[in-house]
Amino acid sequence: MNQSQLNRLRGDVVEKAGRDIRHQKDCDWLINKIYAETHRQVSSSTIKRFFGLIKSPFHPSRYTQETLLRFLGFKNKEEYLARFNTFEPHTANNDIWEETRRQVMQITNHSLNSLVQKTHYKNGLFVFREFANEHLNNFLESGKTATFFIAPDGFGKSTLLIQLVEKYFLQKDALYKNDIVTLVDGAIFFNLYAKNQNSEILNQLLDFKLTVGTEFYFQNHPEKQKGKLWMIIDDVDDIFFDKKRYHELAENIIRMIMGIDNGNYKVIFSCRPENMDIFLYMAQKTPYLKTCWHGVTPSNYDNYAKTNVPPFERTEIETLLNKFEFPYDFSYLEKYHTDILHIIKNPYFLRLFIESFKEVDTISEIILLKNFLQKRLFSPPYSEDKQILINQFIEICNKGKERNSVLKDKLLQVQFNDFALRELISNGILYEYNVVNHEIQSDTYLKFNQNIVFHFLLLLYWKGNNPLSNDLFKRILNYYANNQKLQCSLLKLFIHLTIHQKNFELIKKILTDIDRNSSDSKSAECLIPLFKTIRDALMANKHVRETLIPWFYTTNTGKQILDKA
């Protein structure tokens, strides 16, 4: 056997054994297992050499190879090699590599166009994220076969893959322009398949066969390979919504990853955290699989912890504001809209922020949150069911008074469309995590991805169909007396919403009450952030200044606010 075939044999033995062979005890265990199934003996040193624990310039002996083949269930080398030597690309072109590239570019271009339309991507307007550059370089240096970009919708996974494909593979000066890259938009997989039914690459995802893949042909004909083969799938969890079919797809992907672990085949997927479970389960079942993955931290307890796409850093936000010629710079936002800065670290929120305020004079946290909820919560599909779920969430957690998460089982007692919860999770509004209970079983909880979204929904729940009032302000103040962090956050949003509605008389009533009850400990902790919220509104909005500043000079509280302005 040549080196490539021996690498395959090594991987097959590990897969059959069900454990990695890294130490003396692993070798001893494998020797006994081989003898039990073949009645042939191999020495510990032979196994060590075969798995690279002892360096050797020689290939395994014929006896060793035959013994390992019998362990795998094959009669001889010919029967084993026949599994993956039967595929031959059909082409009139002697340059099989270039012909393969031409064929897969039809899939890549179709997917690229789809992703550009979906993300509104424009080359030059989007920042190329440094973490993605580091992730790809570390992936290549690791020698591993596969990596994932894991995050909820709205974290920029699709944009990230567009940029990686263009920069590293498609540009004239691309670093890996000799490689072959197949880009697949999971959301249009079956449209791609209908137009490319003879594509072995797409067929492998639906029905994996070791003998028919293009990658296996090049593995056994390295002289015809001019670079690496790449499979990049955006939203792999959009190919199938049916759980059984999705698990079958995941199993095919895992077989591909383990079957071509030779350094010349690379796989990149993007996926939502909640749909990584099948991959993590298979990694636990087959430890060898973990050695094929780069940059994936197994976490069965917290879907948020599985996310490996970080929020935007300051420099990235600054760059994007400049690229889109946004009228307000980062320093202005840092001075007058600190709450917004926490929100727009999320890529989707930043895009929504730029769209919402590029052509207007006044920035409003309330408008941004309303626009987000309109697009992600109050819109189809399942808009009514999603709202029922959110209201039930708020009721179960006692309006967030003592906790900000709920047991999934309790929430599921409500009658609603199951897809509504899936939408809330996929859209990045909620996420799941598990906690081991006293019975040493795990309970699944649901929690909001962004606290400010949860707090704004709490405020809307308190408000209902009624107008904002001083009485509502007091009720919120009293209800959260023992949870000052949430109390302050809700009251700040209350002030933001009041100013957004230009209800300046209510602002005056609230401040007059604070004046009268200045010694009230219930509101003391919140005064500083409340005053800052009002002060920022004064500095950022001329109409607010003209309306409130004259009145502020007539009250002690108003003077305190102005003294800091």
Calculate the alpha carbon distances from 268 to 108, 234, 419, 426, 442 in Å.
14, 8, 27, 20, 31
Q: Work out the pLDDT band at 522, boundaries 50, 70, 90.
A: low
pLDDT in tens, 494-512: 999 999 999 999 999 999 9
Q: Work out the pLDDT band at 264, boundaries 50, 70, 90.
A: confident
pLDDT of residue 282: 84
Least confident of 13-27, 104-118, 165-179: 13-27
Looking at per-residue confidence, does 537 or 299 come out higher? 537
- What is the residue whose two structure tokens read 């955290």? 273
Least confident of 117-121, 217-221, 518-522: 518-522
Tell me if 532 sits within 8 A of 562, measured CB to CB. no
- What is the residue whose two structure tokens read 């809307």? 460
Whether the predicted pLDDT of 447 surpasses 90: yes
Whether the predicted pLDDT of 124 surpasses 80: yes
Looking at per-residue confidence, does 242 or 231 come out higher? 231
Query: For the whole model, what pTM was predicted?
Result: 0.77
What string of DSSP letters covers 415-434? ---HHHHHHHHHTTSEEEEE
pLDDT of residue 57: 83
Looking at per-residue confidence, does 385 or 441 come out higher? 385
Q: Work out the pLDDT band at 304, boundaries 50, 70, 90.
A: low
Least confident of 185-199, 287-301, 545-559: 287-301
What is the average per-residue pLDDT within 10-23?
Answer: 85
Cα distance between residue 43 and residue 29, in whole Å: 12
Cα distance between residue 313 and residue 209, in whole Å: 44
Whether the predicted pLDDT of 473 surpasses 60: yes
